[in-house]
Chain A
Amino acid sequence: MSDITITERQAGDVTILDLNGKVTIGEGSVALRTTIRRLLGEGKNKILLNLGSVGYIDSSGIGELVSSFTAVNKEGGTLKLLNLTQKIQDLLAITKLLTVFDVFEDEGEALASYN
Chain B
Amino acid sequence: MSETREITLPSLIESVDEAAQTAEDFAKSRGFSEDLISSVDLAIRESVANAVKHGNKFDKTKNVEVKFADVSDGLEITVRDHGTGFAVDDIPDPTNPENLLKSNGRGILFMNSFMDEVNWENHPDGGMVVKMLKRR
Q: Give A residues with C-beta under 8 Å from B.
A: 24-26, 58-60, 62-64, 66-67, 69-70, 91, 94-97, 99-100
Partner of B110, one of A66, A70, A91: A91
B100 touches A59 (CB 8 A): no
- A59 engages B107 (CB within 8 Å): yes
Q: A-side binding surface: helix, strand, loop or mixed?
A: helix
Q: Is B8 an interface residue (CB 8 A)?
A: no
Q: Which residue of B lies closest to A60 (CB)?
A: B49
Contact check: which of A25, A96, A97 meets B13 at CB < 8 Å? A25
- 7 A-B residue contacts at CB 8 Å? A25-B53, A26-B13, A58-B46, A59-B107, A63-B106, A94-B109, A96-B95
B51-98 residues with Cβ-Cβ distance < 8 A to A are 53, 94-95
Q: How far is the CB of A35 from chain B (nearest CB, A)?
A: 16
Q: Output the least CB separation between A48 and chain B (Å).
A: 19
Write the chain A residue with the least CB distance to B16: A25
Instruction: Assess the A58–B45 pair: CB atoms within 8 A.
Output: yes
Instruction: A96 to B102: give the CA distance in the assembly, Å.
Output: 12
Chain B: interface residue total (CB-CB under 8 A): 20
CB of B103 closer than 8 Å to a CB of A: yes
B42 within 8 A of partner (CB): yes
Known: A25-B16, A60-B49. A95 touches B95 (CB 8 A): yes
A66 to B105, CA, bound (A): 12
Asked if B33 is at the interface of the complex by the 8 Å CB criterion, the answer is no
Q: Which of B13, B53, B105, B106 has the most CB of A within 10 A?
A: B106
Contacts of B94 in A (CB 8 A): 95
Say whether B101 contacts A58, CB under 8 Å: no
Q: How far is the CA of A37 from the CA of B62 in the complex (A)?
A: 34
Instruction: List chain B residues, Cβ under 8 A from A91.
Output: 110
B2 at the A/B interface (Cβ < 8 Å)? no
State the CA gap A69–B101 with chains docked (Å).
9
Does B113 touch A at the CB level, under 8 Å? yes
How close is A54's CB to chain B, nearest CB, in angstroms?
14
Known contacts A25-B53, A94-B113, A95-B95: does B100 contact A62 (CB below 8 Å)? no
Bound-state Cα–Cα, A91 to B106, Å: 10
A60 CA to B110 CA, complexed, in Å: 11
Distance in angstroms between the alpha carbons of A62 and B53 in the assembled complex:
16
Cross-chain contact A63 with B104 (CB below 8 angstroms): yes
Given contacts A60-B104, A62-B106, A95-B95, 17 further A-B contacts (CB under 8 A): A24-B16, A24-B45, A25-B13, A26-B13, A58-B110, A59-B49, A59-B104, A60-B49, A63-B102, A63-B106, A66-B101, A66-B102, A66-B103, A70-B103, A94-B95, A95-B94, A96-B100
